[in-house]
């Protein structure tokens, strides 16, 4: 678990630096940062969807996951937390950071490798990247980015502890569609940042659990 703890701490430290910088950034510079992050987010989302295996799996995951999230009102719950903290961008910051820090080959393969062999090299590399990213994101979206360190600790830590059981996720059959689902969510966040459309991306978070389940069901019929 040490690599996961290091990763979570890196996000907290990066976020603290970003939160401090946020107070000293002029509004016009914040605006250009918003555009820069928004456009970069769109690029990341497109890249994540490029290796998709089956778009029907992705569609099913988004549809089922979105319905579950809408019923649970995950986005509304996150918004209420942000309102109570007077953090208007809490939801965007938390969801964006959680997805970027947790949905990707480096996270899954690194966590499973750490759990099975004790080698945390990939997670330590990821920690550096996440720390830098959290600085930029926290300077724009505030406290939600720091709270995503909890997501890193819980989700990534769970993958490490259950590495022998979850090792199947490193198989491209599961991994590519899972990353593609995350990619579509990142694209949605990009649209929200650029004020094109608010797709309530927080409500799609259950899709990340639905995706491997659908892939497993499909493999039963092959």
Give pLDDT tens digits along the chain (222 positions). 788 889 889 989 988 988 888 777 777 777 887 788 788 888 888 988 888 899 999 999 999 999 999 998 888 887 777 667 656 678 788 888 888 887 777 777 778 887 877 778 878 888 888 888 888 888 888 888 888 888 888 888 888 888 778 888 888 888 889 889 888 988 888 888 788 887 788 888 889 889 999 999 988 887
How many CB atoms sit inside 10 A of residue 199's CB? 17
Quote the pLDDT of residue 88. Answer: 60
CA-to-CA distance for 113 and 19, rounded, in angstroms? 33
Alpha-carbon distances, residue 208 vs 170, 189, 215 (angstroms) = 15, 15, 12
Quote the pLDDT of residue 125. Answer: 81
Q: What angle do CA 205, 49, 184 make, to 5 degrees?
A: 35
Quote the pLDDT of residue 210. Answer: 93
Quote the pLDDT of residue 35. Answer: 84
Residue whose C-alpha is closest to residue 143's, from 89, 107, 98: 89
**176 in the Ramachandran plot: left (φ > 0), alpha (ψ -120 to 50) or beta?**
alpha
CA-to-CA distance for 181 and 184, rounded, in angstroms? 5
φ/ψ of 44, rounded to 5, equals -65, -45
Residue whose C-alpha is closest to residue 39's, from 191, 183, 201: 191
State pTM to two decimals: 0.78
How many CB atoms sit inside 10 A of residue 109's CB? 17
Quote the pLDDT of residue 87. Answer: 63
Q: Is 200 helix (H, G, I), strand (E, B) or coil?
A: coil
CA-to-CA distance for 130 and 207, rounded, in angstroms? 23
CA-to-CA distance for 7 and 173, rounded, in angstroms? 27
């Amino acid at each position: 678990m040490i690599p996961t703890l290091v990763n979570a701490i890196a996000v907290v430290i990066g976020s603290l630096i970003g939160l401090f910088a946020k107070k000293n950034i002029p509004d016009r510079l914040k605006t250009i940062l918003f555009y820069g992050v928004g456009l970069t987010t769109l690029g990341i989302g497109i890249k994540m969807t490029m290796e998709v295996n089956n778009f029907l799996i992705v569609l099913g995951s988004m549809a089922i996951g979105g319905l579950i999230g809408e019923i649970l009102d995950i986005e509304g719950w996150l918004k209420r937390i942000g309102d109570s903290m007077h953090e208007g961008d809490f939801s965007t910051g938390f969801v964006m950071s959680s997805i970027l820090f947790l949905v990707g080959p480096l996270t899954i393969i690194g966590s499973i490798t750490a759990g099975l062999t004790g080698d945390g090299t990939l997670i330590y590399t990821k920690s550096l990247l996440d720390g830098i990213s959290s600085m930029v994101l926290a300077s724009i979206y505030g406290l939600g980015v720091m709270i995503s360190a909890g997501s890193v600790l819980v989700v990534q830590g769970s993958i490490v502890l259950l590495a022998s059981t979850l090792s199947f996720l490193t198989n491209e059959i599961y991994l590519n569609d899972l990353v593609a689902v995350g990619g579509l969510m990142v694209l949605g966040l990009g649209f929200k940042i650029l004020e094109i459309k608010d797709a309530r991306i927080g409500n799609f978070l259950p899709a990340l659990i639905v995706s491997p389940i659908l892939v497993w069901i499909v493999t039963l019929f092959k």
